[in-house]
Amino acid sequence: MKIYSDCSEFKGGKSPVLTTGTFDGVHLGHLKIIQRMNEVAASIGGETVVLTFDPHPRTILYPDDDTLRLLSTREEKTALLEKAGVNHLIIHPFSKAFSRLSSLDFVRNIVVSQLGTKKLVIGYNHHFGRNREGSFEHLREFGPVYGFDVEEIPAQDVDQVEVSSTKIRLALQNGDVTTAAAYLGRNYSLEGIVVKGRQLGRELGFPTANIQVGHPQKLIPADGIYAVTVNCCGQEEIGMMSIGMNPTVDGKQRTLEVNILNFERDIYGQSIQVAFVKRLRDEIRFSGLEELKKQLVRDREDTLKIFH
């Protein structure tokens, strides 16, 4: 996959088949669009092009709203789109000036002049241009004029629920990693660097890796205990993860700690990836460390049952 940091860098592919959007999470709905793009490109001897944006448009359009949390960082999104078979990925800088482009200027100057689009494949209810004025109906009008075809892909449903990044964020914020996985088509994951913690887990016989997530807007699931897989040192391990304030020991800040089962290597300073498989329970304040330790034993047993 070829990657470009601006539309102007794209020098043209063979009969480009284009889609555009934020693609946060690259969920099943997004994958449905890309699958159709791959089919169209194969039928006309073309190449697929995804035009996405960084930073997320909401951070520019609503700078005072700091509530947005991302399902995928730039790096994660890039890896997921490459895995889906995209030929060209354009990550265009989103700015106030760019947001003021009319739908006509966006189509004429970018979709046609810069990218040379032969076919545009978009998701259901897709809008673009200044104030989201552009729609599928506009594109059907512009297509014959500027020489490209357009196709709208219906929304992807899971258990008769329309998949969207917003619904996945809500599920994760409620700790429902199972529903999030169903909409994503994979377990939700995050990456971070292992840093020094209070090392209380080691004293209890459950040593944990404290994770510092690099991207400030990366969505962290709701506080609680989760069964997880951990990709570390090129190997996948299983573990249980705690997200929260550690109320039993009067924690002062939210931490992300993962106990990797049957694992004793020193991984301080290393990057690891944690994927959420199932929520085990809420975070609880116990009467003391002994009660906490007993619960950790039960959590470990529950985790092993999930995987075995």
* Pick from 228, 286, 290: nearest CA to 261: 228
Mean pLDDT of 139-148: 94
Task: Label residue 38 by pLDDT band (50, 70, 90).
Answer: very high
For 125-159, b where at least 16 C-beta lie within 10 A, e where not — what string?
Answer: ebebbeeeebbbebbeebbeeeebbbbbbeebebe
Give 175's strand partners: none
Residue in the structure block whose two tokens are 């494949």: 121
Tell me the pLDDT of the chain averaged across its residues: 94
Architecture of domain 2-162: 3-Layer(aba) Sandwich (3.40)
- CATH number, domain 189-307, options 2.120.10.30, 2.40.30.30, 3.40.50.720, 2.60.40.1760: 2.40.30.30
Residue 280, pLDDT > 80, answer yes
Angle between helices 165-173 and 177-184 (to 10 degrees): 160
Quote the percentage of the chain above a pLDDT of 90. 82
- R_g of the chain, CA atoms, integer Å: 22
Quote the percentage of the chain above a pLDDT of 70. 100
Contact 171, 56 (CB under 8 A): no
> How many angstroms separate the CA atoms of 77 and 25, rounded?
7
Measure the N-to-C terminal CA separation of the chain; round to a whole number of Å.
37
Mean pLDDT of 68-88: 97
Mean pLDDT of 102-129: 93
Q: What is the DSSP string of 111-177?
A: IIIIT--SEEEEETT--BSGGG-B-HHHHHHHHHHHT-EEEEEPPPEETTEE--HHHHHHHHHTT-H
Residue 51, pLDDT > 90, answer yes
Residue 32, pLDDT > 90, answer yes
> How many angstroms separate the CA atoms of 196 and 193, rounded?
10
Q: In the chain, where are the structural domains located? A: 2-162, 189-307
> Using CB atoms within 10 A of its CB, is residue 97 exposed (0-12), middle (13-18) or buried (19+)?
exposed
pLDDT digits (tens, 9 = 90+) for 181-239: 999 999 999 999 999 887 777 777 889 999 999 999 999 999 999 999 999 988 999 99
> How many angstroms separate the CA atoms of 97 and 106, rounded?
12
Contact 89, 238 (CB under 8 A): no
Mean pLDDT of 133-139: 88
pLDDT score, position 45: 96
Backbone angles phi, psi at 23, to 5 degrees: 55, 35
Task: Label residue 72 by pLDDT band (50, 70, 90).
Answer: very high
pLDDT score, position 56: 95
pLDDT score, position 114: 95
How many helices (H) and strands (E) would you count in the chain?
10, 14
pLDDT score, position 94: 96
Task: Label residue 8 by pLDDT band (50, 70, 90).
Answer: very high
How many other CB atoms sit within 10 Å of the CB of residue 250? 8
Task: Label residue 12 by pLDDT band (50, 70, 90).
Answer: confident
Name the DSSP letter for residue 217: T
Task: Label residue 165 by pLDDT band (50, 70, 90).
Answer: very high
pLDDT score, position 229: 98
For 200-236, b where at least 16 C-beta lie within 10 A, e where not — what string?
Answer: bbeeeebbbbbbebebeebbebbebbbbbbbebeeee
Run of H or E residues at 76:
helix 74-83
pLDDT score, position 205: 80
Mean pLDDT of 7-13: 90
